[in-house]
Structure 1
């Protein structure tokens, strides 16, 4: 009987293993290149090295209706200097901050773990699960691959440029920042134990996976029914970078251009591209050229655009024909045969005078117009020169459109209705134009933290969320920040000048605008209070400057060197101008007016007296009977 039961268990186990293998073999991983200089052909797809149930899985019937909050988040970095755009996420209790590449082609969010044996030096300290009160490991089951101890689920990702990331899966509270309507949520993420290639050398901490899959941050939030099944990205333009991201639905602009995105066709965000026009002339291509393999894929984590060989050659020849007046030069990197042009000038807004407009026409006839910054990147060694940011995908028939194509374009990934929308705008300014309602802050911090400001949630006197920036100009007269150090005041005193310059640099103001109010001892450490004031002869900061500083402080992006030891941003406060009475506002004007009146009056009186005296001198006379003393004649 026992033998029969064992055989039955073995058969069931074998069946489950085969079933899992079938499910895994039907899913693939988009392999974006999200790093600067990644110009070789893109080969899609790549499979996971270790099959497990965390592979992308999409349920096309999952839809949400009704009104939901959303997470509005700022984007940082740009394509030329970094090759990617990042956002900020806070993980754990107290929150630990991370700079993550926003990647619509990845299906898992991961950060370096404190136990990582082979991780590079990134922007922020590694995640410390032992410091989080709410962290829980994802326990090993038959549905996932397990670690060597058989206790915790693992993940592994491999990308086209052969960089890899692997580690364990954990669950913790994830916060989206003070300016998010969405409250902190529990979610599963990857805790890296090993990374190679560009993932090892990049400055960003990790990846924020926005693709279709059970481990995707989007799928997890939608499954919890806390946001609608949609997200939007808006990448800043050439030379500016930055931008905005929204997890959840937004009302699309009236003139947004939409195209269908078929979730059944592939696990990636594909669009129905049919034609490309250069300077108003259609390229002579069969529309099926854009429909090979995975079709036309939109991937926010890829830097450039990659076309099938025939489409690339036609596009290249059309661009070169329209730019025959420009001089063709060598690219910035001798390893790549870049197509570059000089003589167009340094003003990006004037590039359309030298380079043609490009149109992408979708199956429904709708058209997305691309300006030169959507297919060019700056030459890093020649001023006023630009290179083609569109390359051949060689033997891969997939059309891959990276971040360069959608710079200064609001892209709405409406997963619920299986469509993607495009709307041209200034993405670098979009964040300031967004009306963001009040949001709950991340969970309160512990009293101890690491060497960064990320573990502290500041108190706010006036935050951007209290204003509709389309209608109201912020008036901030000064910003006060309080920082504690674990170094004594005596040891810190010689470095006050250097510290002042560092704070000014982090907040992007002049050193003359940063003033030390007081510096005192606090146990074995020290406590400092600083005030940042407007430029000389200004009553308050400009709207742009105020928003920039408030964002840096509220999102904990003020970073100081480790030479200053462990420090904490305890508090910051943005203070509006003090309301003054009429006399307080204009007493100086009144005093100057009175003084000027007195000066003019005295001057007029003096001039009158002088004039009168001269008049009397000119009309003076002597009586005729007055004797005049004779004078002796001088000899000739």
Structure 2
């Protein structure tokens, strides 16, 4: 009986393992498809593939990529690329004002600590150095081309040029491409201290990633950026052409005047009234420049004064307050409430009028930023540009606006939309990573209207499988207390309750992540998690928490002694709640097998006991026993 039972157990195990493997495979495939095709899963794959092959003959592919909002802490947007074979991942600031894409090199001795490891050329089988020729500055010692970039805020980057395979992620229909990039060996200023790894240069120049891809004829001469709103952040980027939305407004960009992407801004209207200034004020030096690497907007002195005065005349029920940082003379107002979608009730709309009379209407989130210390307060995100006559429009001006840089036709288009739902708004679905995915064909450049109204703020945060994914998973901070380990250990629940109360969150959201001793002091790392069962928190919520931390909250009781709060920041969501779906089918059968295996000896003993009880007892030496023994033949 033991052997058949063992065989039966193995059969059950094999069946469950087979089923588990199949289930895991199918589920994994379904999750990949869901991430890449969130809107329109294919109903007829063979027909879809045939359409794809036909379109591929008529139109270049494009690289669709998600943008990540780091405005809360660092004031920029990043995207992810992968370099080398095998690929090494990097988070790069999206910058239309830069012409070189660069990442820190493993040999860099003067590079800061960034969010990803440095690029290791020696670990990439596809890496090639760019040898010196007449077309590039040369490092004579290495006989390799070099680059150097210096920026207005006094930061700089210097390094060697390399050539390797660059991949754009699993949303991209464009496959990996060889491209020249910078391998940093020195950086200074903000580039040294920033969390992002480097810069993705989208400007106009031979080494620009856009120029290189266009030169290879793998994308059309165009790209688009869509920055998320004040609350949800994120966004999307497309390298290459997309079908132009019907209501996109284009204005001319004079490529011959400036190496930067400029527009011909003629007037600014506040609440429908033009600023009382000379329109030529916006045409100084390089004109009006769009720069995705700049956070805010900067106007010539005369234009800024007129703009500030016109906005303040429209604010009837708000109170002017001091800014969050005493080092700056920010112009801020309280009493507007925390609902971004209702800001238009307190702040005026602003129109940017181009030279051809077309308008781009800005909602309040396009010229305001949230006060970090006062809830329901906002500050002007437009500043004077000192003595510089150039008007500089940074990312704040194009929040929830799809901006298409149509380089082929030397024009720039604007379309107000919800960037967190861009694929849906464009009636597109991110393609799967198969070579036979559909390719967008054709560019519809017709412009049917000259005016756009602001798109309302989204009513709910986006999911992970669409552009504009909310990146903030937790808010972290360190707390150093002058209390010894043994005393503090028993008071952790009390401390968590105080932190939750001071940060205005539920105590279940506050968790201690690390605990160590520093002499007689205790160093603790804390995290504030999203409320409920969600995997991420809204930007507005994270901003309020960080604002309180910046005010040196929480304020603890004297019984906790002296304390210091420092190093607060944000971290992306962690993948959780997925393992049971994949591994439960493996865990359950093993539990079944274990239970069956453990019960088998017990069952065998019970069966043996019952068998013995069913047979009559016969003592040794009884007559029948002797008789049976006599039947045995003796050995010869």
- For 1:212 and 1:293, locate their aligned partners in 2 and report how far apart those are by CA, in whole Å: 18
1:435 pairs with 398, 408, 429, which one? Answer: 429
1:380-404 deviation per Cα after TM superposition (whole angstroms, max 9, x unaligned): 1111111100011111111100000
1-side partners of 2:299 and 2:247: how far apart? Answer: 27
Q: How far apart are 1:334 and its partner, in Å? A: 1.2
Are residues 1:79 and 2:71 paired? yes
- Matches of 2:318 and 2:140, distance apart in 1: 60
Structure 2 counterpart SS, 1:244: strand
Change (3 A) 1:195 1:468: closer
1:192 maps to what in 2? 184
CA distance in 1, matches of 2:197, 2:285: 32
1:21-420 alignment, distance < 5 Å? 67-420=59-412
What is the deviation of 1:228? 0.1
Equivalent residue number for residue 522 of structure 2 = none
Structure 2 vs 1, CA of residues 440 and 91 (structure 1 numbering), >3 Å: closer, same or farther?
farther
CA pair 469-351 structure 1, distance change in 2 beyond 3 A: closer
Structure 1 residue 143 displacement after superposition: 2.4
Matches within 5 A, 1:460-475: none
Q: Deviations over 1:223-242 (max 9, x none)?
A: 00000000000001002110
Instruction: In structure 1, list runs of 5 or more residues that go unmatched.
Output: 1-64, 442-466, 471-510, 513-534, 546-556, 561-568, 579-636
Alignment of 1:424 onto 2:416: yes
The 1:113/1:432 distance shift into structure 2, 3 A limit, reads farther
How far does residue 140 in structure 1 lie from its aligned partner after superposition? 1.5
Change (3 A) 1:573 1:283: farther
Partner of residue 541, structure 2: none
Contact preservation (8 Å) 2:165, 2:178: yes
The answer as to whether partners of 1:182 and 1:439 remain within 8 angstroms in 2 is no
User: CA contact under 8 A between 2:263 and 2:288: conserved in structure 1?
Assistant: yes
- Where 2:379 maps in the other structure, the secondary structure is strand
Q: In 2, distance between residues paired with 1:161 and 1:468?
A: 36
Alpha-carbon distance change, 350 to 76 in structure 1, aligned in 2, over 3 angstroms: same
- State the distance in 2 between where 1:298 and 1:325 align: 33
Task: Quote how far apart the aligned CAs of 1:81 are.
Answer: 2.8
Q: 1:572 to 1:71 in 2, by over 3 A?
A: farther
CA deviation after TM superposition for structure 1 residue 573, in Å = 12
CA contact (8 A) 2:423 2:466 kept: no
Matched with 1:454 is none
Q: Distance in 1 between matches of 2:61 and 2:239?
A: 9
| Closer, same or farther: CA 79–469 of 1 in aligned 2, 3 Å | closer
Higher RCO (C-alpha under 8 Å, 6+ residues apart): 2
CA contact (8 A) 2:265 2:354 kept: yes
Q: CA deviation at 1:559?
A: 7.5
User: What is the SS of the residue equivalent to 1:252?
Assistant: coil
The answer to whether the Cα contact below 8 Å between 1:180 and 1:440 also exists between their aligned partners in 2 is no
Find the residue that maps to 2:98 and give its secondary structure: coil
Q: How many angstroms apart in 2 are the aligned matches of 1:259 and 1:242?
A: 25
Q: Return the offset for 1:144.
A: 1.7
CA distance in 2, matches of 1:255, 1:387: 30
**1:227 is paired with a residue of what secondary structure?**
coil
Q: Whose helix fraction is larger, Structure 1's or Structure 2's?
A: 2
**Contact 2:129–2:144 (CA<8 Å) still a contact in 1?**
yes
State the secondary structure of the residue aligned to 2:285. coil
Change (3 A) 1:573 1:180: farther
C-alpha contact (below 8 Å) 1:299/1:403 kept by paired residues: yes
Distance 2:580 2:174 in 1: 23
Whether the 8 Å CA contact 2:103–2:118 is kept in 1: the answer is yes
Alignment check: 8 A CA contact 2:225 2:404 kept: yes
Shift in alpha-carbon separation, 1:282–1:183, aligned structure 2, 3 A: same
SS at match of 1:76: strand
Kindly indicate whether the alpha-carbon contact (under 8 Å) linking 1:412 and 1:420 is maintained by their aligned counterparts in 2. Answer: yes
Contact 1:78–1:240 (Cα < 8 Å) also in 2: no
Structure 1 residue 117 displacement after superposition: 0.8
Give secondary structure in 2 for the equivalent of 1:397.
coil
- TM-score calculated relative to the size of structure 1: 0.60
Secondary structure of residue in 2 paired with 1:411? strand
CA contact (8 A) 1:328 1:341 kept: yes
Number of the residue aligned with 2:604: none
What displacement does 1:79 show?
A: 2.6
C-alpha deviations, 1:202-229, integer Å up to 9, x for none? 1110000000000100000000000000
Please give the alpha-carbon distance, in whole angstroms, between the structure 2 residues aligned to 1:304 and 1:468.
28
Q: How large is the RMSD of aligned CA atoms in angstroms? A: 3.2
Task: Give TM-score scaled by structure 2 length.
Answer: 0.60
Within-5 A mapping of 1:448-597: none
Aligned residues: 405
Residue 220 of structure 2: SS of its match in structure 1?
coil
Instruction: Tell me the SS of whatever aligns to 2:91.
Output: strand
Partner of 2:601: none
Whether the 8 Å contact between 1:326 and 1:343 is mirrored in structure 2 is yes
Change (3 A) 1:321 1:213: same
Q: In structure 1, what is the Cα distance between the partners aligned to 2:343 and 2:294?
A: 24
Partner of 1:453: none
Q: In the TM superposition, what is the alpha-carbon distance from 1:102 to its structure 2 partner? A: 0.4
CA contact (8 A) 2:420 2:466 kept: no
